[in-house]
Structure 1
Amino acid sequence: MVLVTAATLVVAAAASLFMAWSIGAGSSGSTPFAPAVGANAISVMRAGLVVGVLGLLGAILQGANVTEAVGTELIGGVTLTAVAAIVALVTAAALVAVGVFAGYPIATAFTVTGAVVGVGLAMGGDPAWPKYAEIATLWVLTPFVGGGVAYGVARTLIGDSLPERPLTAVLAGLVGAILANVGFALLGPAGEQASVAAVLGSGLGIGGAGAPAVSLAVAALVAVAVYADLGRDREGAQRRFLLAMGGLVAFSAGGSQVGLAIGPLVPIFSEVGVPVWALLVGGGVGLLAGSWTGAPRMIKAISQDYASMGPRRSISALIPSFAIAQTAVAFGIPVSFNEIIVSAIVGAGYAAGDAGVSRKKMGYTVLAWIGSLVGAFALGFVVFSAVDFAL
């Protein structure tokens, strides 16, 4: 019995690593730096290398919330078994891998969520309707909010109504304020996360005003630094700001997407004493491997096939992407980075009068998103039912 259990755990871990590789190659590994590659701020290969490292760090420092949600909150009344986790992960990873090699960004959150729910219902579990409502709300709003904000910011940056230099500095300050309030595992007590603003603000002795004061200070420092940099070298400063945003989105991708790969393992590995942080490290390594070996193909597809992007439109796409990603991480909601980034790229692309936006590619992508959710749910339910019957 011990040998069988150990073998099952090994297979489950291998399925999780396969899922992590697929995500690293397709979603977290390709989307964060795609706008920067489209704007010629960084090469495809270098983007794959950098995003892998940042994704690993994000997985370790921010991955716990989404991991717990995927592992324990998508289905009620039952706990995922090792066999259920294997079926869900292999089903989802296979669909994502097909998208990677076909050049279409399959939404990993859709496939994993669909597969886990399908498997859970096949086990006799109950639908977790409140969680589904949270997830559906974010998924539906993401294209409109992300694309809309990207469109508005891009129109403002490329227009003549406001001066570009102070506007860019204000946007950078907003990003700094968001970053100051991002939770990190290293800053919080065991099993929790805390932000820089919360930690530093608590030591100011001004009560609840401490965190907002720190946030404003960070925003001001970032805005002044970017404003000064733009004054010295406008094009170089834009490129550096763009690369910094790509890095922040890549870090956020690791914190969000690792949960899709290792979440189903939490119930079974916790029973044998494996801590969540160990799973996060393993999942982060899988993301890193996927980013380094498979991401360049998808980076090229997203950066060139959806819209023609310059530095200002790329910055406009990454700012809302970073904000949406961190919102999802904070609330423990699995979200597709392909949906976030592609929607923002299309929104920013339309700001230039529809220049370069591929409607055909976008239509196929939306169909792929819907198909991946429905297909993963159906395959998870059917495959687990067949395996359970055979066993």
Structure 2
Amino acid sequence: MEAATVATFFAAGGASLFMAWAIGAGSSGSTPFAPAVGANAISVMRAGFFVGILGLLGATLQGANVTEAVGRDLVVGTTLSPIAAIVALSIAAGLVAVGVFTGYPIATAFTVTGAVVGAGLAMGGAPAWPKYSEIVAVWTLTPFVGGGIAYGTTKLLRHESVPETVATPALAGLVGAILANVEFVLLGPSDTTQSVAGTIAASAPGRIAVTVVLAAVVVALMAVDMRTDVAAGQRHFLLALGGLVAFSAGGSQVGLALGPLLPLFDTVDIAVPLIALLFGGGLGLLAGSWTAAPRMIKAIAQDYSSLGPRRSIAALIPSFAIAQTAILLGVPISFNEIIVSAVIGAGAAAGSGGISRGKVGYTVLAWVGSLLGAGVLSFGLYTALSAVLLV
């Protein structure tokens, strides 16, 4: 391999690691445990520690779908060159880093998607309209679905006629049923994923039966915990949910850092297993979570709503479900959008006055601006570099 090619390749890898760090410091590192921190179930620093570990596991075991989508499905007719990958990743990471250090949750999925599309179009590629329609549908529905479910769940948990010792185990059983059908790379044959229910039973009726049994086990365990100490049971459930969302964040967000690199490996004679790349990206997420996530955890936990345990549970349940749906579809999703909308829905159900309307408005503008700005900047910078470097 020529020295120039090696240098460019490593520069692209460095940009990818910077992107992974920025994601770990921002969306995947801050949002999963933010409701739990807001409910005083875990400290900010401890949340940053655990979210890094769980994000690494999620990236390695669930990151393939979104990585493939970002790397190969956003532009038709071309693949990103090393220079285009460096441009897209650098611009996206820079915007996310600005959000981290200013305290505003920039939507990472928006910035990376805009930057990759901008660079791909500048290379002469065509828009991938079917994929864009799928992505826009998920992004548009997320605040309504997440906020709506969080609103309804909060109302259920606060309803006087529904004992918490009944409602909380039932919700835990629902989460257990979802978890039984979440797909992991190590459970399936080579280069495929499989769920726990699918591994135990091959037929659809069998998978349903396994799901019901596993959900019932979770309900029983949660019920026993709640009978012993209601407050402790809620805290345990809340921390488990935060862990599941952190794991899901790793599985989704690592693709935003690694996706642009995939086409580069098609141009060189280097056989690197995808799971090895995912593990490397997960290490970048972990580094970001451990070094810079606490600032954003505080911003999400305290600036949007003062959450108690019940509202935090209500916010994290739809967050976990939406994140896993997006991973299954291979759609890059913003965890800031998921968590913020769920937090607002839970806060609205409780009649909380703690939601900052101004903060929410600026956040939405930052999301839209990051998508459009990343696309324009990436297109312009790649076009300028192409003229100078004749690439």
Cα separation, 1, equivalents of 2:277 and 2:385: 26
> Where does residue 96 of structure 2 map in the other structure?
96
Q: How far apart, CA to CA, are the structure 2 residues paired with 1:250 and 1:4?
A: 38
User: Paired residue for 2:34?
Assistant: 34
% same residue = 67
Distance 1:50 1:108 in 2: 21
Cα deviation for residue 160 of structure 1 reads: 1.2
Letter in 1 for 2:216: A
In structure 1, C-alpha distance between the alignment counterparts of 2:279 and 2:215, rounded to whole Å: 31
The corresponding residue for 1:239 is 235
Name the CA distance, whole Å, in 1 between partners of 2:54 and 2:204.
32
TM-score by length of 1: 0.98
Is the deviation greater in 358-367 or in 271-280? 271-280
Deviation readout 1:58-84 (Å, 9 max, x if unpaired): 000000000000000000000111111
Q: Give the residue type in structure 2 aligned to 1:378.
A: V
Residue 279 of structure 2 corresponds to: 281
One-letter code aligned to 1:194: Q
Where do 4+ consecutive residues of structure 1 move more than 4 Å? none
For 1:15, the equivalent position in structure 2 comes to 15
AA matched with 2:346: A
**3-state SS of paired residue (2:121):** helix
Describe how 1:153-302 pairs up with structure 2 within 5 A: 153-202=153-202, 207-271=203-267, 272-302=270-300
Alpha-carbon distance, 1:303 to partner: 0.1
Shift of 1:274: 2.1
Distance of 1:276 and 1:110 partners within structure 2: 24
Question: Secondary structure of the equivalent of 1:162?
Answer: coil
1:283-326 CA-partner distances (Å, limit 9, x unpaired): 00000000000100000000000001000000000000000000
Match of 1:60 in 2: 60
Give the distance between the partners of 2:114 and 2:90, measured in 1 at CA.
Answer: 12
Q: Secondary structure at the match of 2:65?
A: helix
Number of matched pairs: 387
Equivalent residue number for residue 362 of structure 1: 360
**Aligned-partner residue type, residue 229 of structure 1:** D
Q: Which residue pairs with 2:141 in the alignment?
A: 141
User: How far did 1:159 drift?
Assistant: 2.0
Question: What amino acid maps onto 1:276 in structure 2?
Answer: L
Distance 1:111 1:354 in 2: 31
Partner of 1:216, secondary structure, is helix
2:19 aligned partner, one-letter code? M
* 1:126 alignment partner in structure 2: 126
Q: For the residues of structure 1 that align with 2:306 and 2:122, how far apart are their CA atoms?
A: 44
User: Which amino acid in structure 1 is aligned with residue 181 of structure 2?
Assistant: N
Match of 2:305 in 1: 307
Report Cα offsets for 1:330-381 as digits up to 9, x if no partner.
0100000000001000110111113311111101100100000010010010
The one-letter code sitting in structure 1 at the alignment partner of 2:348 is: Y
Q: Quick check: 1:79 aligned with 2:79?
A: yes
Partner letter of residue 370 of structure 2?
Answer: S
Question: For 1:278 and 1:228, how far apart are their aligned partners in 2?
Answer: 40
Distance in 1 (alpha carbons) for counterparts of 2:63 and 2:251 = 4
Matched residue, 1:326 = 324
185-194 vs 268-277, which deviates more? 268-277
Paired with 2:103 and 2:183, the residues of 1 have a C-alpha distance of 34
Q: Distance in 2 between matches of 1:92 and 1:176?
A: 35
SS in 2 for 1:40: coil
Partner Cα separation in structure 2 for residue 334 and residue 131 of structure 1: 11
Query: Match for 1:253: what amino acid?
Result: A
CA RMSD of aligned residues (A): 0.8
Distance 1:288 1:235 in 2: 30
Instruction: Mark the runs of 5 or more structure 1 residues left unpaired by the alignment.
Output: none
Of the structure 1 ranges 265-274 and 13-22, higher mean CA displacement relative to structure 2 is found in 265-274
Question: Structure 2-normalised TM-score?
Answer: 0.98
In 1, distance between residues paired with 2:74 and 2:289?
27
Counterparts of 2:161 and 2:262 in 1: how far apart (Å)?
Answer: 52
The Cα of 1:208 is off from its aligned counterpart by: 2.5
- Separation (CA, whole Å) in 2 of partners of 1:302 and 1:60: 26
